[in-house]
Amino acid sequence: MGVVFIGAAFIAGYCCWSILEANARREVLAEAGLMMDSALATRAYTANEILPLLEQRVWESFPPQSIPFYAATQNFMKLRERHPEYAYKEATLNPTNPRDRAADWEADIIQRFRNDATAQEVVGDRETPMGRSLYLARPIRTEHECAACHTTPAIAPPTLLARYGGDNGFGWQDNEIVGAQVVSVPFASATASAKRAALRSNDLEELVADLATELDAEADRRTFTERCRQGRG
Ligand code: HEC
């Protein structure tokens, strides 16, 4: 009987662990979603409130602060000063700023978006030097208004060329997926809270196992007393 109890306790423990793992993943994914929304908010703020203020300066010296994608990246670089394990990147196959060039694994994600125009989001895990991390990626698609700075150097503002040169970030087509926003969130904190919860459930398992041993011993004692009685009778 004890063996059955212990087996059941272990199965229960395994199920608890799987649930906690799934919860940790959900927690990390929610965090990644929030980071993505925060990047979109920064982009919208820059496009609506900063760009109109700097538009005229584009012809004097190019102000990157007017570029929504630049603003989102800079904002997250500040965040990384305190949370280096979090990352945000506008990974692009042919970027204006070399900092944004897609790494191999990011280029694979961009290709997936390019091959499947209906894909809106890709989620996955990867090992990083700072531990396992979850990534959430969304495609970056061009619109007509991007053409002024991303089609040919011939029509781009000369100040942009002076700052970035004419070799990168051009040749983008209208309505083309040129990159992906990629957010990376570490599993570490969520896994730690899952482990804490699992330890609590392990205590419960131990309690069940102790109880099972106790019940087993009690049953043996009863059988023994019974036999003795029968022997006497
Ligand atoms: C006024 C010129 C201009 C316009 C218009 C413009 N961009 Fe850019 N874009 C830039 C510059 C300059 C950078 C590099 C900023 C930096 O230093 O990070 C950039 C950076 C980017 C990046 C980051 C990757 C890279 O190339 O470094 C993406 C993605 C991007 N732009 C997409 C777009 C999209 C999509 C549109 C249209 C909706 C658009 N841009 C419109 C000038 C422009």
Question: Tens digits of per-residue pLDDT, 131-178?
Answer: 899 999 999 999 999 999 999 999 999 999 999 999 999 999 999 999
Across 65-74, 118-127, 204-213, least confident range = 204-213
232 vs 60, residue with greater confidence: 60
Whether 10 maps to a domain, the answer reads: yes
pLDDT above 50: residue 114: yes
Atom of ligand 1 nearest to the CA of 92: 24
Longest dimension (CA), the chain: 112
**CB of 70 closer than 6 angstroms to any ligand 1 atom:** yes
Between the CA of 97 and the centroid of ligand 1 the distance, in Å, is 9
Give the domain extent around 177.
2-192
E-only strand ranges, the chain? 87-92, 122-128, 131-141, 177-186
pLDDT above 50: residue 233: no
Whether 182 maps to a domain, the answer reads: yes
Question: Tens digits of per-residue pLDDT, 57-72?
Answer: 888 899 999 999 999 9
Atom of ligand 1 nearest to the CA of 178: 29
CB 71 within 8 A of CB 43: yes
Taking CA atoms only, the protein residue closest to ligand 1 atom 29 is 90
Whether 200 maps to a domain, the answer reads: no
Structurally, how many domains does the chain consist of? 1
The overall average pLDDT reported for the chain is 86
Whether 112 maps to a domain, the answer reads: yes
**CB of 38 closer than 6 angstroms to any ligand 1 atom:** no
Whether 146 maps to a domain, the answer reads: yes
Contacts 24+ apart (CB under 8 A), 197-202: 197/16, 197/20, 198/13, 198/16, 198/17, 198/20, 201/12, 201/13, 201/16, 201/17, 201/20, 202/13
Whether 203 maps to a domain, the answer reads: no
Residue 23 pLDDT level (bands cut at 50, 70, 90): confident
Whether 104 maps to a domain, the answer reads: yes
**pLDDT at residue number 167:** 96
